[in-house]
Structure 1
Amino acid sequence: MWSEQLPNGKIKFFERYKNPYTNKWRRVSVTLETDTSRARKKAQRILDEKIKLKLISLSTSDMTLLELYNMWFPYYKKLVKRSSWVKVEPMMKHIYRYIPKDVLIAKIDEELVYKLIDNMYTFGTLSLNYTKQTRTTLSTMLNFAVSKKLISSNPVLKTKVTPKKEEEARIRKRIEDKYLENEEFKQILEYMYSKPKRKTHALISEVLYLTGLRYGELQALRVRDYDGKTLSVNGTLDYTSVQISEAKKTTPKNLYSYRNIDLPNRVIEIIEELLLENRLLVKGYNDDSFIFLASHKKNPLSIRSFNSVLASTEEELHFKKHLTSHIFRHSHISLLSELNLPLKVIMERVGHSDPKTTLAIYNHVTKNARKKAIDALNKL
């Protein structure tokens, strides 16, 4: 507590307190007639009571978006993978462009959120998916604020990102582009095997196609994860913003991603071939070593290198579908759907927790199968 004498001779006493939500210092004051010991004790009692009442009825409406971000982000980093939280900063730059850092979180409404969506996507140049991800990041922050009783509701939940008309057409077409027909896969594989430098990429493509593994899951597989018949999927490789040599094995995408995959004979042949080559050519190769290596080095083949070869293959073949590592995973779902395996079995094999993608491919493939059946019957 400190005091100041006013021009009229009276004494004004001050005390500071910190807002626990914003970490900002505030002050209260009281004016008394004198600056005696008795007056000071009285002033302290009054100020303490004022602070107590302030804290009890504390309004969090003076917390800004930046202050919320600084409070939320350390929690978020503890709950998600590095590959997820490193994407937040670029998204926040877009958010701050249309919802200023110093805006009070209590003042954020649907109109402000739609301003962000419209400038990024509706009338902007950013993609539908990236805009959705950015909106989700803002929503996660505001859900955190609700959980901490900083605000009463999350306005983002009342908004949505509506695809543009041309986007809707692309989405409908995209289902077929998500996976390869068996003949298309054979064409790609034959072409890659015809290029000696692409043998490793071809082998990996076969494994992805026949197992439905995510590329990061394949990279993280070590010799000890293979028992001759199955693969134990228990992690993924994270090298976001670092070199592949500095990659760290982390937990898989979700709890459903922990799984044992029964292997078809062709995958067993490929793994046995790679293990034999690696033991001959890689010094110190052991049970802790990775199975799928880049040209007999100790590190796995990076997804950038793998996708780069696929891009070259796509261009050289004038292939109509966009080739990335993930198309083989979707193709595996298509393959299992054609075999009439139950959706639950397919989801368990590929480690899906959300049936959305699996179901979209499953329904599309089975719909085509029904059409082929009718066409065949009509020809009888």
Structure 2
Amino acid sequence: MWITKYTTKNDQVRYKYSERYIDPLTNKNKIVSISMPKNNSQSRKEAMLRLNDKIQKKIKESSTINIDSLTFVAALDEWFVHYKNTAGVKVSTIYNKESSIKTIKSAIGKDILIKKMTTRYLQEIFNEWYKSKKRSNSTMKNLRSVIKKVFLYVQLQYGLEDLRAIQNVELPNRQKSRSEVLAIRNNYLEDNEVKEIIDVLEQMQSEGGYGRYLRNVMVLRYAVEFQTLNGMRIGELIAIQNKDIDYENKKLDINGTYVRASYNNSGDHGYKDTTKTESSYRTIDLTDRSIEILKKLELENRKSIQWDDNFNDNDYIFTNTVGNPLDTMYIGRVLKKAVERTTITKKVTTHTFRHTHISRLAQMNINLRAIQSRVGHSDSNTTLMIYTHVTETMSKEMINKLNLIGY
């Protein structure tokens, strides 16, 4: 979906929402559009539903395809329209599905009839994906899930009788190397390592540069510390707004994640979307230092609102020079440069600071359920994986210390 701003004859600002679809009769791209008075999160969601409804009607009106002539690619396009219209998922999830669909289309020919597809044909595709791209097990499962959903859709809509082609596909299971396992298990930092990164970011800021760079590095420095102290996802952190903070009671309402505009092709920078899962909606207690960081950045933003005409007051806290939340790709690039200037040999991403927070709580012997609730894990196994590793490390350290005791 993309959005075009225009002015009517009466000088009213309107927004044209458009979406492409594949006409099943001609197999060509066509476009449907609707006009709306606003361009905000609610309008975009409503527009997506209305456009998908129009596309479904267009497809139904023009389609003369039956199960004997239905190609897999045509079925995939039709299923995706249905999925967007009925799944009720986040925009970022739709974006990820589009990536999977692109991969699948690159491997399956346009003229392949879904009724004629065999397990052997699909198995060779999955084997090739595994050999050539070294895709992860989770990626392979996601690709198979999309293909399976297409088959199920065709079964319901066109009466496809045999689903064995996809049901019998076996996924190659790539075993993680020892270094990969250790990298996952050791995806957290010690206190001195976090401090080293913060020190380097402060040094990068003191080395000078133009104003935009200085502010962004300053905000990133506080983001690193805040994420380590509170364990939220980076998308949740940059989505924090002043209205989410209860300074008096030292609490933070985590109620969304920030989605970049590239996910929806709109003209704005992005918007605040729903959290990853229902469990991700949570209210957490904040440390005194966390409150200090939020007040520091809030003060910087108020100064920018007062003195900089280009600064947009969107109520966000971790902002760049124009008032938009820091871009996650930018954060990754600068963080990588900072880590390269430290003695740290581990791979460090923003998620490392989230794991670091969980590890700290485990070392404090905090209850597993309490940790799960604080960091918004819907699956306790995710928390347990980090929790167990840390407690195992603590046990080894205990034995090492006991071995030093002698009488």
TM range (shorter): 0.7 to 0.9
Alignment of 1:1-380 (within 5 A): 23-24=63-64, 60=67, 62-78=69-85, 79=87, 80-121=89-130, 123-128=131-136, 129-145=138-154, 150-151=160-161, 153=163, 155-156=165-166, 158-165=168-175, 167-196=176-205, 197=214, 198-228=217-247, 229-241=250-262, 245-283=268-306, 289-295=315-321, 297-317=322-342, 319-380=344-405
Q: Distance in 2 between matches of 1:200 and 1:270?
A: 10
User: Structure 1's 145 and 174: CA in aligned 2 closer, same or farther, altered over 3 A?
Assistant: farther
Q: CA deviation at 1:266?
A: 1.1
Aligned length, in residue pairs: 326
1:145 positional shift? 4.0
TM-score normalised to the size of structure 2?
0.71
Q: Supply the AA of the counterpart residue of 1:213.
A: M
Return the TM-score normalized by structure 1.
Answer: 0.76
- Please state how far the C-alpha of 1:153 moved relative to its aligned partner: 3.9
Residues 144 and 334 of structure 1, relative CA distance in 2, 3 Å threshold: farther
Larger Rg: 1
**Equivalent-residue separation in structure 2 for 1:145 and 1:74 (angstroms):** 13
Could you tell me how far 1:163 is from its partner in structure 2? 4.1
**1:159 Cα deviation after fit:** 4.0
Q: Which has the higher contact order (CA 8 A, sep 6+)?
A: 2
Matched-pair contact (CA < 8 Å) for 1:222–1:287 = no
Please provide the CA RMSD for this pair. Answer: 3.0
Distance 1:245 1:93, change over 3 A: closer
Structure 2 CA distance for aligned equivalents of residues 72 and 363 of structure 1: 41
CA distance in 1, matches of 2:354, 2:81: 34
Take 1:146 and 1:340, find their aligned partners in 2: how far apart are those partners? 51
